[in-house]
Amino acid sequence: MEKIPVSVVIPVKNEEKNLTKCLSCLDDFSEVIVVDSCSSDGTVRIAKEFGVPVIDFVWNGQFPKKRNWVLRNIQLKNDWVLFLDADEFVTSEFKNSLCKKIQDNQYSGFWIYYDDHFMGKQLKHGVKMRKLALFRKDKGEYEYIDEQAWSHLDMEIHEHPIIEGEIGRIPVPVVHMDYNGLEHYIAKHNAYSTWEAKRYLQLNKKNVKHTFRQKVKYALLDSWFLGGLYFVYAYFFRLGMLDGKAGLLFSLFKMQYFFNVKCKISELK
C-alpha cells in the first residue's frame, strides 16, 4: 500500500515507557523521525529497533528550540509534517481522516484534538486538549520567544505555530496516554509553570501586543482567580465530574498548575 505522505517528527527525552506504542502505530507513514535530547534510558535503542532514524539535539539555550530546529535544519521528505509526542498514539480512524484532509489544497494546517487519559482512565468530559500539530512545512513555524537560557525546556511547549493560510481540523482524535506515571506528570508541570511565569514577565517587559484571548489569559494569570475559575469551568460546566475520581484529580492538578504559575510570578516580581 502507498505510504501516507506526511513526515512524523517525535521529539523525545527519556521516553522508553511510551515510545514503543507510539512508534508501533506509525508504519503507514512514509517518514518517521525521532529527535532525541540526550536520553539516558532505552529511548534511542527502541527507536533503532523500529528502524527509525534518531537525530541528536542539544539546545544552546536560545532560539530555535527543538521543533523549529527540525523545520529549519532537517530535510523532510514530505510537504506535510506531524509533530507527535511519545505519549500520543494515532488510530486507524485518525490516519484515514488525515489522508482525506491533506488532499484539500485550501488548508495549510489542521487542529488536532486528543482523547486524554489520566491515571489509567479516559477523560470523556472536561476541557479537551487540542494542538496545531499538523501543517505544511513551508507554511508554518512555532512562535519566536527570546528565552536567552532562562528555561531548561528545550522544546516548544506552549509556543504555538504561526501558520500562513487557512486552518482546518481533523475530526478524529489522537489518543493521549502517558505511561510515565503521576510523579513524572507533577514534575513536568512544575517545570512548565516556571516557564509560564517567566514568559509572562518577559512579554510584559517588552509591551507585546496580545490578542484578545491572550489579554484575558494574562490578566487572569496575574490574579489569584484563574485556577479556581478553571476548576469550576472544567469540573462543573464541562462535566468533568462525570469522569469520577480521575476527573476530579485532573481538574485539581490543573487548578494547582495555575496557582503555581501565579505564585512564581509573585516571587519573580
- Of 174 and 198, the structure prediction assigns the larger pLDDT to 174
- Domains of the chain listed by start with CATH number: 4-176 (3.90.550.10), 181-268 (no CATH)
pLDDT in the model for residue 208:
54
pLDDT in the model for residue 209:
55
Q: Which pTM does this prediction carry?
A: 0.93
pLDDT 10s digits, 39-49: 999 999 999 99
Residue 57 has pLDDT above 70, yes or no: yes
pLDDT 10s digits, 234-252: 999 999 999 999 999 999 9
pLDDT 10s digits, 79-126: 999 999 999 999 999 999 999 999 999 999 999 999 999 999 999 999
Band the pLDDT of 164: cuts 50, 70, 90: very high
Whether residue 5 has a cis bond before it, omega within 30° of 0: no
Quote the mean pLDDT of the chain. 92
Band the pLDDT of 223: cuts 50, 70, 90: confident
> What 3 state SS string does 198-235 have?
HHHHHHHHCCCCCCHHHHHHHHHHCCCCHHHHHHHHHH
Band the pLDDT of 170: cuts 50, 70, 90: very high
> What 3 state SS string does 33-79 have?
EEEECCCCCCHHHHHHHCCCCEEECCCCCCCCCHHHHHHHHCCCCCC
Q: How far apart are CA 49 and CA 34, in angstroms?
A: 12
pLDDT in the model for residue 206:
58
